[in-house]
Amino acid sequence: MPEIEMGETPNEFQLKNPPNDGISSVKFGPNSSQFLLVSSWDSTVRLYDIVANNKRMEYFHSAPVLDCCFHDAVHSYSGGLDNTLKMFDFNTNSGTTVGTHEAPIKCVEYCPEVNVVITGSWDSTVKLWDPRTPCAAGSFSQPDKVYTLSVCGDRLVVGTAGRRILVWDLRNMGYVQQRRESSLKYQTRCIRCFPNKQGYVLSSIEGRVAVEYLDPSPEVQKKKYAFKCHRIKENGIEMIYPVNAIAFHAQHNTFASGGSDGYVNIWDGFNKKRLCQFHRYPTSIASLMFSHDGSVLAIASSYMYETDDVVDIPQDSIYIRNVSDQETKPKA
């Protein structure tokens, strides 16, 4: 069956006016599947209306932006290589510098349960920020550079360099709840928590994903497992790709994985099954996110410079895919 050119299918379209450089993060708002926030290496954060397919707003950092998030429907937070956390108000079209790290900010997330914005940095700290002021609300040392973090109710799971995983209680940051080592042998790329808050999924640069549980009791821990994915056999040689992105479907507890092979897979983590694989996208999948209601998946196809020898780099693009229960719901 021939590939559909550029992956345009009836249930999928590309956003107009994509960023002019690598896409670092795509994030939907808390309650709406209409607005998508996108951060980029072109130093912008853009707000798109995906229903009208237009760019509604754009603001700038002084350097590439590595992550962004909504706080509520009209406020965003973002950070990157300028070491600076910015808050932007879409109503007044104005931005504020909230604070800084001593090295680039890699992760920006909002925790509604505790009402804090969380940043993770290559300076080996996680910082909390109170969005009411907005102002700093604490800095917490991590064992190494922060690569990824995910909110799990009122808990925070942090993945750092050196394959370390830390579980924090956002209501009591006085000590680390759990210290773990990744069950995967290679560098951690992404961690995302299950919507039912029982555990998290972790991906590595070596075509593997692990399903982990937070409850430390032995009977729960024996349910954890890992599997290979995002690998392609070409001329008898297996090419192994980084798994850059994980995104959960809030209703079904299933998840999407995106790799540097250009593929997106949907998995049922509890039943250890792949539900489907979409067509191949033009280049690496850099970021993924389902809308709050699970009806839409935003897919960032953006070359991540995994190899030096690529001549014609495809344009960075964002695909909006309307997904069905058939693709995302566990099989009975």
- Considering the domain boundaries, does residue 290 fall inside one? yes
8 A C-beta contact, residue 287 and residue 300: yes
DSSP 4: P
- Considering the domain boundaries, does residue 207 fall inside one? yes
Query: Does residue 5 register a pLDDT over 60?
Result: no
Confidence of residue 9 (pLDDT cuts 50, 70, 90): low
Query: Does residue 184 register a pLDDT over 60?
Result: yes
Please tell me the predicted confidence (pLDDT) of residue 312.
83
Tell me the percentage of the chain whose pLDDT exceeds 70.
97
Cα 121 to chain centroid, rounded: 15
Query: Does residue 8 register a pLDDT over 80?
Result: no
- Considering the domain boundaries, does residue 299 fall inside one? yes
Query: Across the strands, what pairs with 226?
Result: 210
Please tell me the predicted confidence (pLDDT) of residue 195.
95
- Considering the domain boundaries, does residue 314 fall inside one? yes
- Considering the domain boundaries, does residue 285 fall inside one? yes
* Domains of the chain: total: 1
Please tell me the predicted confidence (pLDDT) of residue 313.
87
Query: Does residue 224 register a pLDDT over 70?
Result: yes
CA distance 185 to 208: 9
CATH (domain of 238) = 2.130.10.10
Q: Which residue has the higher pLDDT, 190 or 1?
A: 190
Structural domain containing residue 299: 189-331
CA distance 139 to 44: 26
- Considering the domain boundaries, does residue 277 fall inside one? yes
Please tell me the predicted confidence (pLDDT) of residue 7.
47
8 A C-beta contact, residue 248 and residue 257: no
- Considering the domain boundaries, does residue 102 fall inside one? no
pTM for the full model?
Answer: 0.95
Please tell me the predicted confidence (pLDDT) of residue 32.
85
Confidence of residue 306 (pLDDT cuts 50, 70, 90): confident
Cα 311 to chain centroid, rounded: 27
Please tell me the predicted confidence (pLDDT) of residue 311.
76
- Considering the domain boundaries, does residue 252 fall inside one? yes
